[in-house]
Structure 1
Amino acid sequence: MKITGSQVVIECLIEQGVDTVFGYPGGNILNIYDALYKNSGRINHILTAHEQGAAHAADGYARATGRVGVCMATSGPGATNLVTGIATAYMDSSPIVAITCNVPNNLLGKDTFQEIDITGVTMPITKQNFMVRDVKDLAKTIREAFFIAKTGRPGPVLIDILKDVTAAEVEFEPLSKENERNGILIENHSNLKRIAEINIPSEENIKKVAELINNSERPFIYAGGGIGISGAEKELLELAEKANIPVSESLMARSSFPANHPLCTWMIGMHGTKASNMGVTECDLLISLGSRFSDRVILDSSKFAQNAKVVHIDIDPAEINKNIPAYTSLVGDLKQILNRLIPSVEKKERKKWIEQIQAWKKEYPECYDKKPEHSINPKFICECINKIAGENTFITTEVGQHQMWTAQFYPFTKPRTFITSGGLGTMGFGTGAAMGVQFADKNNRVVHIAGDGSFRMNCNELATIQHYNLPIVIIVVDNHALGNVRMWQRLFYGKRFSQTTLDFGPDWCKLADAYGIKGYKASNAKEFEKVFKEAFEAKKPAVIDAEVDIDEMVLPMVPGGKPIYDMIMKLSEEVMN
């Protein structure tokens, strides 16, 4: 049957199981939006307040579900407004497909109104991108894009479609079964063959890693974001319990291992716990699972895990030996590898090692118990949310001190419930991501923890939250500063607080009210618990302005360039005054 290119887009999205897309219309994408209107009963479009919010929403949707998230924008500034969201997804290996439309073929390359080379712009931040200039290539390209986004190490793919392609007609042949789609794609495309080739480690190499674990006295696991991406949380728990191995988590893995488990040492790295940072320092075998050895974890690479043989297991061979040399490695799907490895791993007690880990777990900065009554303790905020909202609630964050406090203090026990920007550190990510999580399942409960600095960058999405009546509770951790930057200025720049004090509007409660959302103010712990309980149980959009002291610090902290074990646990009176 002959259909237009815009209808091909709709049919291919539905083929791929897409039920929701996030976007913002404009001139060159109008044909696709007309097709969305005609197919509104088949596919749901969410109108965001800004294209960047659409990209982050698609990303949040993908992280919460493991499925490919989809966003759309028109040419020029619409397309470039997606760039930060695409880069965020790229750094955190999140599968999204971004669809943009460009000027028609006859106007391409002539500096036409709202023309931009978006494929050139996004080349370094996508797994692959495409420009579709012929309607005959459209269906094949969309199918390839989804395949690439979700296969191997996931990531974003961009499709730029010229406007006349969306209007042209073409004979369309639907493909209904996933295996048929993938089979045809792989057979006819050498690049897709390469992407589809999943490394399968030999039995000999699997046994070699098992022997290393069995012979180790002080093994230690460094779990990365690949645990959640591969769905290997169950296997991680089984390995840790069987061999009695402590587990540290990167920021991206913070909900991959139960926080209340005795083997969990929580986060590792610059703001990691004493147990995690000393565990990696004193272990004799470091087992890295789906991690990329980020600079925020390893810090001084020459002194990272000096006493250990490093086993690196990851799906992406490019990560092996990139930042930290591996003694041995296994490349492939993490869940499959762990399932093959676990039967060969022996049960061990490792009493002395576990006792040492437990001793380190008791060492924690004292400052969080000594804050003035006029502000709210960040640790209390996390514990209060968890107590009232429960373990199944999704927590999203922006980027900054509030993000680190959440990672340090929130007792995550369920997979995929912590969604944050790790690699790129995108202020403005969390509100859009929270919307994506909520749209992924109407039964989800989402609490978004934001800083007042970050929330300024995306508070326009309150319009989207109100319009769709999303029961997201937004907590603005309000210290009237760009807290993370101010903290560095205090520690390393002689307390020269250049442009980090936010002692000017808005009034967050009045802003919420302007959007038709209920706003709450909390100045102490008792008020916070009361208003959060009320807001969460109301199951409606809400904003809570939670006052936090401007000089609240994130500790422990390892200064940049220092060894991971060189932690600041307590600040001197001179620094604080």
Structure 2
Amino acid sequence: MWERITVSQYIIQFLESKRIQWIPGVPGGTILPLYESLAASSIKHVLARHEQGAGFIAQGIARSKGEVSVVFVSSGPGVANLITAVADAYRDSVPMLVFSGQVPTPLKGTDAFQELDTERIVSSLVKKAYSIKDPNLIPVVLQEAYQIASEGKKGPVWIDLPKDIQTKTIPWKENQSFETNYFLSGLNHDKKTIILGETTSLNLFQSQWKQCFADAKFPLLYLGGGAKKESRRFREIVKQYQIPAVTTLMGLGIFEKNDPMNLGMMGMHGTIAANEALGVCDLLIAIGVRFDDRAIGNKDSFCPNAKIVHIDIDANEIGKIKKPDLSLKKDISEVISYLFPIPIEESLLNPQNTGDKGYLQQIEIWKQIPEIHPAKELITSFASLIPNKDHFVITDVGQHQMWVAQYYPFLNPNHWITSGGQGTMGFGLPTSIGVSLANQNSPVYCFTGDGSIMMNLQELATLKEFNLNVKIILMNNQHLGLVKQQQDLFYGNVYSGSKIHFLPNFQSVCGAFEIPYMNWEKDQNDSDLRSLLGEPGPGFVEINIPSDWGVYPFVPGCKSNQEYILDLVKC
């Protein structure tokens, strides 16, 4: 028997069918019909203290579960405040559905109270943006939006809902299926898609790939976030094939830190071994990567001696920055067994890469160059005191982020979460809340800096409200550290804008939010730290560090990865 329900009721029923458990958001007048329907559902709401915080909480849920998350905001300033978190999600391929309220249809275009042209503003920051004009299109819009967000190269999709549309009724039948096999005409394609890369068929690719690999004297894997889901396979591959590997910031954890084939993170703050290997390899096998500037440095001098094979789920990334010799648009899970069969096929091997591998000896020489930095001792010491190894590590953006990336012994690539492409300060605390909501049996450790923590400090209230097991580790040097470091190196020590002249007393701040606090010094009060980390619920650890600690190695902008600065004196 057909009946009629409101658009807002239909949306909530749809989200329940997708097993959405949490929706962060901040309500306002234009989205109240949707909130009224949410209140009658099984989905729990998270009232963030700022819309940017709500967006990052949604990111934490999506990044940690690998599933689509949802966020609600109202029109005007709600939309504007959310944009930073959505832009961050788009750059790092995080699947989200964004629902924003909008002024009623008759008022659109009149500069009504809290009106913004949301679709136009956000269209370049999402995979797709919808502005709903016909309530009867909601069923297909929802299904299409969910599919676009979750398939291929994942990312956010935005649905803007005028207030009057939310209250319109549409047909509904009890036990109705939400799965549809049809799409809005012409709208199931990303209007921004321009295929830049030429890709081959799988059969042709296989034959050319085997020849490339068999001819290589120094093959090198270059893995990014798109390769994380096959980390177990890649760990076995580098062991069986004896192929060294470098990873991007987003690919950390694919290999265990002490794996002899793991050369570590490449790029601006990459390891010496990783960056030197990129300069001499003769075959670069790039999988799930964007060839972004922070990873490859000067694109013209990147891997000057190498044939490049690029495999990515998104054809737009192939050839966008570095033209490959061989490419394939595929999900790595579909082709990994063709690339690296185990046991190894003879057709992949030539005598020159079956015997003694001279490049492995060179790698060992690079690895012997000492990493002398007090941050290494600090990070590894802290990690050794964490009582539960099945935990998530989140960072904000800054020097602390790079030190954690360089030195933390990650065990699981899916438990390492950071802002990569956008590098958004303020990311850490709210994202940690989302991770903890979605993974309540796993402790969450959020490393942050004194600049980053202040950008979404208000979310301490949200953290306390849900009493989540999130421990915040503040590395406080009273500066915007990466800015200061560049001013040290390139701007004559003129610290314009990088010195933070006033910071709150964080012990008092934590007291106001009723969150346990301690100040930790390495090797001084380790037992107290163990105790705090072992307690359920939120906690805050402040670590005071000198402002002259830098992040090294450091590849200056527009330089090749081999032109790194190794400033051991300043460290």
**TM-score, normalization: structure 1?**
0.92
In structure 1, which of residues 533, 543, 546 is the aligned counterpart of residue 543 of structure 2? 546
* Distance apart, 1:445 and its partner CA: 1.1
Q: Aligned residue for 1:37?
A: 39
Q: Aligned residue for 2:357?
A: 351
- Residue type of the alignment partner of 1:512: C
Q: Aligned residue for 2:18?
A: 16
Q: Aligned residue for 2:122?
A: 122
Q: Aligned residue for 2:513?
A: 515
Q: For residues 517-536 of structure 1, what are the alpha-carbon distances to aligned partners after superposition, in whole Å with 9 as ceiling and x for unaligned?
A: 111112x2024633431221
Q: Aligned residue for 1:374?
A: none
Q: Aligned residue for 1:313?
A: 311
Equivalences for 1:468-507 in 2 at 5 Å? 468-507=466-505
CA distance in 2, matches of 1:263, 1:177: 49
- Residue type of the alignment partner of 1:458: N
Q: For residues 353-407 of structure 1, what are the alpha-carbon distances to aligned partners after superposition, in whole Å with 9 as ceiling and x for unaligned?
A: 11211221221342x15xxxxxxx4542344225424442100000000000010
* Distance apart, 1:496 and its partner CA: 0.5
Is the 1:251–1:407 Cα contact (8 Å) retained in structure 2? yes
CA distance in 1, matches of 2:218, 2:177: 48
* Distance apart, 1:239 and its partner CA: 2.6
CA distance in 1, matches of 2:386, 2:414: 19
- Residue type of the alignment partner of 1:439: L
CA distance in 2, matches of 1:321, 1:46: 41
- Residue type of the alignment partner of 2:558: G
* Distance apart, 1:192 and its partner CA: 2.9
CA distance in 2, matches of 1:449, 1:264: 24
Q: Flag the 1:386–1:310 CA change in 2: closer, same or farther, 3 A.
A: farther
Q: Aligned residue for 1:91?
A: 91
CA distance in 2, matches of 1:6, 1:89: 25
CA distance in 1, matches of 2:103, 2:49: 23
Q: Classify the secondary structure of the residue corresponding to 1:172.
A: strand
Q: For residues 238-288 of structure 1, what are the alpha-carbon distances to aligned partners after superposition, in whole Å with 9 as ceiling and x for unaligned?
A: 332222111111001112222221111110001000010011111110110
Q: Flag the 1:349–1:56 CA change in 2: closer, same or farther, 3 A.
A: farther
Is the 1:68–1:150 Cα contact (8 Å) retained in structure 2? yes
- Residue type of the alignment partner of 1:530: S
In structure 2, which of residues 323, 326, 336 is the aligned counterpart of residue 325 of structure 1? 323
Q: Classify the secondary structure of the residue corresponding to 1:544.
A: strand
CA distance in 2, matches of 1:194, 1:56: 24
* Distance apart, 1:426 and its partner CA: 0.2
Do residues 296 (structure 1) and 302 (structure 2) align?
no
Q: Flag the 1:5–1:558 CA change in 2: closer, same or farther, 3 A.
A: same
Superposed structure 1 runs of 4+ greater than 4 Å apart = 173-178, 188-191, 193-197, 344-350
Do residues 5 (structure 1) and 1 (structure 2) align?
no
Q: For residues 485-519 of structure 1, what are the alpha-carbon distances to aligned partners after superposition, in whole Å with 9 as ceiling and x for unaligned?
A: 00000111000011211231211111011011111
Greater mean deviation of Cα atoms: 418-427 or 432-441: 432-441
CA distance in 2, matches of 1:131, 1:452: 39
Q: Classify the secondary structure of the residue corresponding to 1:539.
A: coil
Q: For residues 105-152 of structure 1, what are the alpha-carbon distances to aligned partners after superposition, in whole Å with 9 as ceiling and x for unaligned?
A: 111111110011111111111000101122211122111111000111
Q: Aligned residue for 1:465?
A: 463
CA distance in 1, matches of 2:536, 2:512: 19
Q: Aligned residue for 2:156?
A: 156
CA distance in 2, matches of 1:439, 1:48: 13
Gaps of 5+ in 1: 370-376
Is the 1:379–1:405 Cα contact (8 Å) retained in structure 2? no
**TM-score, normalization: structure 2?**
0.93
Q: Aligned residue for 1:82?
A: 82
Q: Aligned residue for 1:192?
A: 188
Do residues 529 (structure 1) and 526 (structure 2) align?
yes
Q: Classify the secondary structure of the residue corresponding to 1:232.
A: helix
Q: Aligned residue for 2:100?
A: 100
Q: Aligned residue for 2:560?
A: 563
Q: Classify the secondary structure of the residue corresponding to 1:87.
A: helix
Do residues 361 (structure 1) and 361 (structure 2) align?
no
- Residue type of the alignment partner of 1:363: I
CA distance in 2, matches of 1:297, 1:415: 18
Q: Aligned residue for 2:54?
A: 54
Q: Aligned residue for 1:334?
A: 332
Q: Aligned residue for 1:372?
A: none
Q: Classify the secondary structure of the residue corresponding to 1:330.
A: strand
Is the 2:33–2:166 Cα contact (8 Å) retained in structure 1? yes
Question: How large is the RMSD of aligned CA atoms in angstroms?
Answer: 2.1
Q: Aligned residue for 1:165?
A: 165
* Distance apart, 1:348 and its partner CA: 4.2
Q: How many residues align?
A: 556
Equivalences for 1:257-296 in 2 at 5 Å? 257-296=255-294
Identity %: 35
* Distance apart, 1:210 and its partner CA: 2.8
Do residues 409 (structure 1) and 407 (structure 2) align?
yes
* Distance apart, 1:450 and its partner CA: 0.2
Q: Flag the 1:528–1:49 CA change in 2: closer, same or farther, 3 A.
A: farther
CA distance in 1, matches of 2:329, 2:56: 30
CA distance in 1, matches of 2:220, 2:174: 50
Q: Aligned residue for 1:373?
A: none
- Residue type of the alignment partner of 1:192: N
Is the 1:244–1:350 Cα contact (8 Å) retained in structure 2? no
Q: Flag the 1:528–1:550 CA change in 2: closer, same or farther, 3 A.
A: farther
* Distance apart, 1:447 and its partner CA: 0.2
* Distance apart, 1:290 and its partner CA: 0.5
- Residue type of the alignment partner of 2:287: L
Gaps of 5+ in 2: none
CA distance in 2, matches of 1:429, 1:193: 30
Is the 2:267–2:294 Cα contact (8 Å) retained in structure 1? yes
- Residue type of the alignment partner of 1:6: S
- Residue type of the alignment partner of 2:537: K
* Distance apart, 1:552 and its partner CA: 0.5
* Distance apart, 1:174 and its partner CA: 7.0
Q: Classify the secondary structure of the residue corresponding to 1:45.
A: strand
Do residues 238 (structure 1) and 240 (structure 2) align?
no
Q: For residues 31-67 of structure 1, what are the alpha-carbon distances to aligned partners after superposition, in whole Å with 9 as ceiling and x for unaligned?
A: 111111111xx11111111110111111111111110
- Residue type of the alignment partner of 2:188: L
CA distance in 2, matches of 1:349, 1:411: 32
